[in-house]
């Protein structure tokens, strides 16, 4: 099973953006040493504890500190950008790191609506143009007409694989129509995973011999024992509590969960729904659950997020998941 990792350069308590980016680089290097296939960086804005807003810049930084692992976006939120600029940026990255750059494209803003308005200015209808914008990016990469009035340099002729990202069923139809690989964000929105994969596979149209290819992103926390893993995951649970309550904090050290988490049934229900794409435990526990999940989803690849406060614990978690599935 091919394994990859998704990074947001999350800022932990007591840290800053520089430390978060350094930890992202070290995580990518560790994943590369394990034989992971790719590391992707996610675009988010107006989040004080996420340092991946300048996603293309961070992709270049990570690619420059690794040697073989593929580095890409999970994703670039295309409605925030001009398709030409995206083609130029990723064409430039591909020129510097040939054969290693990937472009995952998403429809969501990666932020709140007010910030999206600040990014998009007068173009708040951009999400409705997502299919056309994806095709425009493809045209810039594939253009061979020297008389075309607008062209992407660097970018034209660049071999940058495109993926469509989704957290609901909408993008499944587009990925299928375009014959592109499809990645689903079950690490925070697992509810429509199986429906989206079914839509994608049933509607897939081959383009130049392409075949349906699915990847699912999940949270994993592995440790020597189930008890230790469930303690480590309290950092992720606290992060989800902050998202639900709009009281976001930096990534906290693992600790006992607050009483109100258990007392408020609605809060617990919402957080538990977000945790449905999370796999926690020892090697044996993780192996059993992940193999059942893979068999059920028929996913071709897994992409992992691992929200551990401690970098050493995070790297060990990735090693243990790799051991569970590939050794």
Q: How would DSSP label each residue in 121-150? A: TT-TTGGGGHHHHHHHHHHHHH---TT-SS
Q: Residue 233: pLDDT band by 50, 70, 90 thresholds?
A: very high
Q: Indicate left, alpha or beta for 9 from its phi (over 0: left) and psi (-120 to 50: alpha).
A: left
Tell me the pairing of strands 38-41 and 162-166. Answer: unpaired
Contact call for residues 32 and 17 (beta carbons, < 8 A)? no
What is the four-CA torsion angle of 45, 7, 279, 163, rounded to 10 degrees? 90
pTM over 0.75: yes
Q: Residue 128: pLDDT band by 50, 70, 90 thresholds?
A: confident
Residue 99 CB neighbours (<10 A): 10
Calculate mean pLDDT across residues 256-285: 93
pLDDT at 122 over 80: no
Mean model confidence pLDDT for the chain? 96
Calculate mean pLDDT across residues 242-246: 90
Domain 1-160 has CATH 3.40.50.11540: no
Q: Tell me, rounded to whole angstroms, the distance of Cα 279 from its chain centroid.
A: 16
Task: Spell out the domain ranges in the chain.
Answer: 1-160
pLDDT at 123 over 80: no
75 Cβ partners below 8 Å, 6+ apart?
40, 42, 43, 103, 104, 105, 106, 163, 165, 183
């Amino acid at each position: 099973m091919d394994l990859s990792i998704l990074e947001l350069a999350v800022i932990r308590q007591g840290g800053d953006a520089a430390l978060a980016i350094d930890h992202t680089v070290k995580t990518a290097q560790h994943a590369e040493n394990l034989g992971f296939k790719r590391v992707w960086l996610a675009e988010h804005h107006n989040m004080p504890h996420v340092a991946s807003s300048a996603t293309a810049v961070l992709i270049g930084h990570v690619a420059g500190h690794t040697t073989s692992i593929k580095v890409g976006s999970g994703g670039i939120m295309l409605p925030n950008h001009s398709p030409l600029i995206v083609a130029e940026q990723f064409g430039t990255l591909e020129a510097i790191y040939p054969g290693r750059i990937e472009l995952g494209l998403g429809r969501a803003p990666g932020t709140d609506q007010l910030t999206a308005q600040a990014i998009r200015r007068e173009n708040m209808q951009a999400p409705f143009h997502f299919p056309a914008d994806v095709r425009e990016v493809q045209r810039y990469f594939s253009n061979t007409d020297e008389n075309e009035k607008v062209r992407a340099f660097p970018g034209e002729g660049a071999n940058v694989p495109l993926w469509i990202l989704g957290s609901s069923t909408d993008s499944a139809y587009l990925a299928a129509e375009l014959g592109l690989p499809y990645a689903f964000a079950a690490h925070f929105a697992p509810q429509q995973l199986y429906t989206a994969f079914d839509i994608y596979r049933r509607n897939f149209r081959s383009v130049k011999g392409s075949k349906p290819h699915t990847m699912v992103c999940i949270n994993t926390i592995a440790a020597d024992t189930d008890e230790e893993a469930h303690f480590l995951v309290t950092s992720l649970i606290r992060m989800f509590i902050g998202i639900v309550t709009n009281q976001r904090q930096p990534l906290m050290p693992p600790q006992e969960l607050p009483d109100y988490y258990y007392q408020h049934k609605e809060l617990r229900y919402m957080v538990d729904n977000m945790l449905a794409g999370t796999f926690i435990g020892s090697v044996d526990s993780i192996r059993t659950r992940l193999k059942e999940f893979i068999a059920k989803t028929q996913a071709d690849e897994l992409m992992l997020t691992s929200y551990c406060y401690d970098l050493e614990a995070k790297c060990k978690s990735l090693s243990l998941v790799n051991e569970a599935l590939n050794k």
